[in-house]
Amino acid sequence: MAKAYKAKWIIPSDGNIYEDCALIVDEGKVQEIIKQDALDESKFDFVRDFKRSLITPGFVNLHAHLQYSDLKVKNTSLKTKFKKLYTTIKKHYFLTGISRKSFIFRLSNLLSDYFCLTREEKIASFKKGIELSLLNGTTAVAQLSKESKYFDLLNETPLKTYLFFELFSDSIDTSKEEFRAIKKKIDKLKMQKSENTFVGVAPHSICCVHKRLFKILVKYCKKHNILMTIRLAESKEEMDWLTHGFSDVDLLNEFTNHKKFEPLEVGLTPAQYLEKLGVLSKQLIVSYGNYLPVSDLELLSANKVALAYCPRISDNLHNKKLSLSTVLEYFSNRFGFGLNSMAFNQDFSLLNELKYVNNGELSTLEAIRYLTIIPAKILRLNNIIGSLEVDKDADFNVFELNDDEDYNAILNKERPNHVYIKAKRVVKRGQLNI
């Protein structure tokens, strides 16, 4: 059924701006963009005129933990109370002396709060993350989670999801066990996944994953041509661990039931460490990078590594972030924005993430590309999403504009008024429509 969506401006992320045009869609796929004057409305089953508005492709979130969207424990059962008591005692035992404002303590609180949720509450929290994503115009996410119980939810949602399974290990033995378990999950889920769901791996960080597991994953990813993502140079604690062979990260590992282990080699920078392990490649996405020295930025750039840029949460948790100008210098056309979770972020708006750091470095067209087609390319989904080009899914956002606004006003917006996935409206005037 052919449909036409008219707007004052359409920016499809193909490098052009179309004025007074219509987006033509058939069976959920983009067909073309034509001038409104040339539109014969009698030939369409449906025509919607958004008048003075802007249409863009749907946004892509490169780093998300949807499961942490609502951690308020509502259950007051005896089991939940016992879990709370258990985690309180455990934190007191392992993290005594750690500042309550530190990254390690705040992360332990997050893990404790999540642990205390029932299965139903965890699923509800995950669904909340999906809803917040859609409301803010995000139509594709890179989701990081250790659990596979959310897979059925992802298969059912219209949201495109690249599901990265988080991995942890502290020895050769646990590395083998972790890999066997995750490989079994991936093999099973590949057979069950919908056309909107994709699977990758996410070794959590240098100081939470043993060198043996890294080496196994490198071979696995190359053989199966799948993506890997890792948090890199995120915290001072990580940098101390690399420099000295120990830090407060060891306490967090113990808190999460992992044994202390030492770096592959003391004194390496984060990117050097990954290079030694053979991890650096264009299949790798690193997140944060707050403490990366220039030499590491150059090394990552030379290896065509992509970046999930999370500036707000970096400032929130670490009081340190890469500047946008630095990111543009070393990751031009190889980065996108990430929101992490509502546990440490004040909202789930990628536009607000952009506004937080953009002081004129990015024009409107460039900003939209870094929210759409560029992260889509990083996730290797640009054949179906990221731009409004022929035969791609009609995933798009509609921003209603005032009489005194043009398409540049998107840089001052927080979220779209309408969101479409495969030409089906999932958000209508700021409200979910699914």
pLDDT at position 25 = 97
d(CA 344, CA 110): 9
Instruction: Tell me the per-residue pLDDT of 353-399, one tens digit each, with 9 for 90 and over.
Output: 999 999 999 999 999 999 999 999 999 999 999 999 999 999 999 99
d(CA 90, CA 115): 12
Asked whether the beta carbons of 273 and 263 are under 8 A apart, the reply is: yes
Distances (CA, A) of 236 to 105, 139, 208, 317, 393: 13, 33, 14, 11, 42
pLDDT at position 387 = 98
d(CA 106, CA 90): 14
Percentages (nearest 5) of helix, strand, coil residues in the chain = 40, 25, 35
pLDDT at position 87 = 87
d(CA 409, CA 368): 12
What fold is seen in the domain 60-378? TIM Barrel (3.20.20)
Check whether 193 has a pLDDT greater than 80: no
Contact residues for 110 (Cβ-Cβ < 8 A; gap 6+): 68, 71, 343, 344
d(CA 92, CA 400): 51
* Maximum CA extent, the chain: 73
Residues making up the chain, counted from first to last = 434
* Beta pairing class for 138-145 and 59-64: parallel
Give the CA radius of gyration of the chain: 22
Angle, helix 78-94 to helix 103-115, in steps of 10 degrees: 160
Instruction: Tell me the per-residue pLDDT of 136-190, one tens digit each, with 9 for 90 and over.
Output: 999 999 999 988 788 888 888 899 999 999 999 999 999 999 999 999 888 887 7
Determine the residue type at 53.
Answer: S
pLDDT at position 86 = 82
Distances (CA, A) of 258 to 129, 171, 188: 28, 9, 27
**82 pLDDT tier (thresholds 50, 70, 90):** confident
**84 pLDDT tier (thresholds 50, 70, 90):** confident
User: H or E stretch including 164?
Assistant: strand 160-167
Residue 346 has which token pair? 């004040």
Check whether 423 has a pLDDT greater than 80: yes
Contact residues for 59 (Cβ-Cβ < 8 A; gap 6+): 136, 137, 138, 139, 140, 350, 351, 371, 372, 397
Check whether 113 has a pLDDT greater than 80: yes
**28 pLDDT tier (thresholds 50, 70, 90):** very high
pLDDT at position 66 = 96
d(CA 186, CA 67): 19
Angle, helix 311-318 to helix 103-115, in steps of 10 degrees: 110
Residue 179 has which token pair? 């890999």
Q: Where in the chain is the domain with CATH 2.30.40.10?
A: 2-58+386-432
Residue 237 has which token pair? 């604690």
**80 pLDDT tier (thresholds 50, 70, 90):** confident
CA nearest to 415, candidates 357, 359, 371? 371
Contact residues for 223 (Cβ-Cβ < 8 A; gap 6+): none
Instruction: Tell me the per-residue pLDDT of 274-294, one tens digit each, with 9 for 90 and over.
Output: 999 999 999 999 999 999 999
* Mean pLDDT, rounded, for 57-62: 98
Determine the residue type at 58.
Answer: G
Q: Where in the chain is the domain with CATH 3.20.20.140?
A: 60-378
Determine the residue type at 381.
Answer: L
Mean pLDDT over each residue of the chain, to the nearest integer: 94
pLDDT at position 216 = 96
Asked whether the beta carbons of 372 and 13 are under 8 A apart, the reply is: yes
d(CA 396, CA 10): 10
Percent share of the chain, pLDDT over 70: 100
Contact residues for 403 (Cβ-Cβ < 8 A; gap 6+): 52
**336 pLDDT tier (thresholds 50, 70, 90):** very high
SS3 279: coil
* Mean pLDDT, rounded, for 281-310: 98
Task: Please indicate whether residue 357 or residue 90 has the higher confidence score (pLDDT).
Answer: 357
pLDDT at position 161 = 93
**97 pLDDT tier (thresholds 50, 70, 90):** confident
* Mean pLDDT, rounded, for 405-420: 97
pLDDT at position 201 = 96
d(CA 133, CA 337): 13
Which CATH number applies to 2-58+386-432: 3.40.630.40, 2.60.40.10, 2.60.120.10, 2.30.40.10?
2.30.40.10
* Mean pLDDT, rounded, for 202-214: 96
User: H or E stretch including 212?
Assistant: helix 211-224
d(CA 287, CA 258): 23
* Beta pairing class for 53-57 and 59-64: unpaired
Asked whether the beta carbons of 337 and 61 are under 8 A apart, the reply is: yes
